[in-house]
Amino acid sequence: MTQTELSQFHYQTCGNPQNPPVLFLHGFLGSGNDWNEVTQFLSSRYYCLTVDLPGHGETVMAESVHYSFEKIALALIEFIKQLDFKKCSLVGYSMGGRLTLFLTLRYPQFFSKTVLESASPGLRTQKEREQRILQDAEISTELETGNFKSFLKEWYSQPIFEGLAARKNFDGLITSRLQNNPKILAQLLRFLGTGIQPSLWEELGQNKIPILLLVGENDIKFQSIAQEMTKANRFVQTKTVEGCSHNIHFRRPEQFARYIIEFFTEN
């Protein structure tokens, strides 16, 4: 596994560069390291790149820059161009999944297939977006003013992360999250939260890239969203992972990787 910087993103690679490339985008609070268990199962078949998104891991976030979806997406496209990939596939989780869908719909010429884990096209109405912006503002204030470790424990005690704390490496997950700067994360949430994200529902209807949605059996909210997305576009399919809630790749990394291989090898 190698580490380097290119086009402002810190990233790691795993596998043979001659194999088909797959770009992984992590969720809020995470880093590219979140995918390490998954990429171990994929590295014999694919060239895996796990990126630290701005303000996470080792990718520095400049305070003077407004990190909109559009700007980060453009930076990732430049990143892909510099790597000189003809096309690559995408895998994204939660916040990274929303960014992954944005890339897929706005820049389809760069991508072969897309896997979305617990991700959505955003909120449909302005009222919903305004309510979510207020909620995210409260979370941002907590990050800026509270104890970060306490915040993380409370965050992962939410029902949506049911069962996550039972995994043997959960303490390692918390330790890695503590490496992030909570004030930077608060600023980033104001730029990339679900409320501020442009709704992609209409664009999804025009999509022609094969998309696999992975949702946890116990994640009722995203099960419903996945059903709507599958109805909205014939190139979208869904698989439900038993015994999981929101974060599937952490709970079931081998099964997660197996679904990716099956999907990528489909005609």
Q: What is the pLDDT of residue 64?
A: 63
pLDDT surpassing 70 at residue 163: yes
Q: Is 119 exposed, middle or buried (0-12, 13-18, 19+ CB in 10 A)?
A: buried
pLDDT tens, residue by residue, 180-225: 999 999 988 988 899 999 899 999 999 999 999 999 999 999 999 9
Q: Percent of the chain scored above 70 by pLDDT?
A: 96
Q: What is the mean pLDDT of residues 154-173?
A: 87
pLDDT confidence bin for 143, thresholds 50/70/90: very high
Smallest CA-to-CA distance from 213 within 194, 233, 241, 237 is with 237
Q: Answer yes or no: is 235 within a domain.
A: yes
Indicate which CATH number applies to the domain containing 251: 3.40.50.1820
Q: Answer yes or no: is 232 within a domain.
A: yes
Q: 133 by DSSP, 3-state: which?
A: helix
The radius of gyration computed from the CA coordinates of the chain, to the nearest angstrom, equals 17
Angle formed by the axes of helices 69-83 and 95-106, nearest 10°: 70
Q: What is the pLDDT of residue 63?
A: 66
Q: What is the pLDDT of residue 60?
A: 80
Q: Are strands 211-216 and 236-241 parallel, antiparallel or unpaired?
A: parallel
pLDDT tens, residue by residue, 69-115: 899 999 999 999 999 998 999 999 999 999 999 999 999 999 999 99
Q: What's the pTM?
A: 0.95
Q: What is the pLDDT of residue 3?
A: 53
Q: Answer yes or no: is 259 within a domain.
A: yes
pLDDT tens, residue by residue, 56-81: 999 987 766 778 889 999 999 999 99
What is the overall mean pLDDT for the chain?
Answer: 92
Q: What do you get for the CA distance between the two ends of the chain, in Å?
A: 30
Number of domains in the chain: 1
pLDDT surpassing 60 at residue 248: yes
Q: Answer yes or no: is 170 within a domain.
A: no
CA distances from 74 to 51, 71, 194, 202, 217 (A): 14, 5, 19, 21, 34
Q: Answer yes or no: is 240 within a domain.
A: yes
Burial 71-88 (b: 16+ CB within 10 A, else e): ebbebbbebbeebebeeb
- Main-chain dihedrals φ then ψ at residue 4, nearest 5 degrees: -160, 180
pLDDT confidence bin for 2, thresholds 50/70/90: low
Smallest CA-to-CA distance from 254 within 30, 40, 92 is with 40
Region of 184 please: left (phi>0), alpha (psi -120 to 50) or beta. alpha
Q: What is the pLDDT of residue 6?
A: 47
Range of the domain at 67: 2-123+197-265
Q: What is the mean pLDDT of residues 138-160?
A: 94
pLDDT confidence bin for 259, thresholds 50/70/90: very high
Q: Answer yes or no: is 144 within a domain.
A: no
Identify whether the C-beta of residue 215 lies closer than 8 Å to the C-beta of residue 118.
yes
Q: Answer yes or no: is 105 within a domain.
A: yes
* Residue 53, H or E segment: none
pLDDT confidence bin for 149, thresholds 50/70/90: very high
Q: Answer yes or no: is 157 within a domain.
A: no
